Amino acid sequence: MGNEPDKPLTSRERSNANLRSWKPGQTGNPEKKNLKGQPKIKDQLDRWASQKCPQVVIDELEKIFPNIKKNITIHDAWTLRVTAAALSGQPWAIKFLADRTEGTVAQVVNLQNNGGSFDHSSQTDEELRARLTQLTDRIAGLQSGAPTPDSQE
């Protein structure tokens, strides 16, 4: 055993030699960088948003919220700006605040086929693919405004 000559390592063996296993709880991306080596946007925004808000922005916000503190963060300013937009009736801001505080509204999807439930268990893969293609073509036709076979009489 000890007298065997060393074989050259294969490409896979060389690659695996560089791998390290992580300790429990350890992340593989401790610096929180994306694939291009840049910090993730969320982390950059969190770091930036925790800074003191510029006085010019605070002065603008005081026109709407006269009792705000003088040492608010950029994150506080964002929140106040969205709140101000909602108070002025901006639909996007109202929806944003409602989604953030109440959660998004669940969307109900009803899969009915001529009044009955759609049972795909008895269909083959080919039949399901054909039906999917048919439905995809129908959706594409609806989006383009072209008549679909179902809409023509």
pLDDT band at 80 (very low <50, low <70, confident <90, very high): very high
Supply φ then ψ for residue 33, to 5 degrees: -105, 150
Q: How confident is the model at residue 153 (pLDDT cuts 50, 70, 90)?
A: very low
* Residue 141 confidence (pLDDT): 77
Asked whether the beta carbons of 32 and 43 are under 8 A apart, the reply is yes
**Coil, helix or strand at residue 2:** coil
Structure-token pair, residue 59? 């002065």
Residue listed under structure tokens 């801001």: 93
Mean pLDDT of 65-94: 93
Residue 34 has pLDDT above 90, yes or no: no
CB atoms within 10 A of CB 146: 9
- pLDDT at 109 exceeding the cut of 80: no
Residue type, 136: T
For residue 7, which amino acid is it? K
Taking only the tens place, the pLDDT of each residue in 8-17 is 878 777 777 7
Q: Are 68 and 80 in contact (CB under 8 A)?
A: yes
Is the pLDDT at 90 greater than 80? The verdict is yes
